Amino acid sequence: MDRGADLNLLVALDALLEEESVTLAAERLGLSGPAMSRTLGRIRRQFGDPVLVRAGRRMVPTPRALAIRAEVRRVVEEARAVFASVAPDDPSTFQRQFTIVAFDALVMVFGSELLRRVACEAPGSKLRFLPEERSGVPPLRDGSVDLEIGVIDRGEPEVRVEPLFEDRMVAVVRPGHPMARENKLTLRQFADAGHLLVSRRGRFYGPLDDALADRGMRRRVVGSAPALAASLFMIMESDAVGLVLERVAARAVDALGLRTFPVPLELPPVRIGMAWHPRHDADPGHAWLRQVVRDAVAAA
């Protein structure tokens, strides 16, 4: 990059590569659409590359853009960290976009409380929830994700992990389902029911199957849904049996009028935690976000 390079273009480039949209990048930076388009033109001239190209109704990064995306994010985050040490710690002054990766069941339970806290305490900020496929070290490292909330069983030294709570899985069925009326449901009866799994990759196998296999049994699986919310609506109008965290059942399942009952098998607890990159340890905004998550978990 030559001496005439405008380092502010890196901030715009970071937003463009994250949003893959001129319109959304403009909203993120508080610019008009035409201003963002002009900035993209300057970026293209500066790098000698189109950076983003049209693909149908969306824009996609070029190979050069993909190669430098992580480095651009790192430089922008390090620059922000310089100012973070002297940044005000009053949430009402924050102008931030916080990105949280979480299983949709957890968003169903804690999402509304997180939105309420942000609206009350940090009205200049906003939350973005992303599905779990963005989880792991790279998104935390490059700054595209602020927090990951869920079952975090990795042990990378460069990631902070804080336990939040433990939960257990319970079975969920529609009102009037025969299984909801069984006083002493046997494991065989449970395994022979038509099970609906939740898997964003369409898998028909989960931790319950390992526990059943240890007993020489298999369950009958009738399908899979890409998200918990979708599965609950399918269960409402079928004889399928699903599994859900008990704390989710206390809110989402009850709101839909579904019924739950204990799984007739001893399963290990589900341990939910949150993970973040150490670069955010001293960031006032991130520290506030982590406390908001703790409070939301405690209140749910």
Q: Give pLDDT tens digits for 194-209.
A: 999 998 888 899 889 9
Taking the C-alpha atoms of residue 218 and residue 272, their distance in angstroms, rounded to an integer, is 27
- Asked if pLDDT for residue 63 goes beyond 50, the answer is yes
Q: How far apart are CA 232 and CA 225, in angstroms?
A: 9
Evaluate if residue 25 carries a pLDDT over 60: yes
How far, in Å, CA of 142 to CA of 189, rounded? 48
Mean pLDDT of 271-295: 91
Percent of the chain with pLDDT over 90: 51
Residue 32, SS3 per DSSP: coil
| Alpha helix positions (H), 163-265 | 187-192, 207-213, 228-236, 246-248, 254-255
In tens, the pLDDT along 44-58 reads 998 899 999 988 878
Residue 5 pLDDT greater than 70, yes or no? no
With a cut of 80, say whether residue 141 has pLDDT above it: no
More confidently predicted of 94 and 87: 94
Q: Looking at 166-170, 234-238, 262-266, 278-282, which range is the least confident one?
A: 278-282
Average pLDDT over residues 206-226: 93
Which domains, ranges and CATH numbers included, belong to the chain? 8-84 (1.10.10.10), 91-166+271-299 (3.40.190.10), 169-268 (3.40.190.10)
- Whether the Cβ atoms of residue 234 and residue 225 lie closer than 8 Å to each other: yes
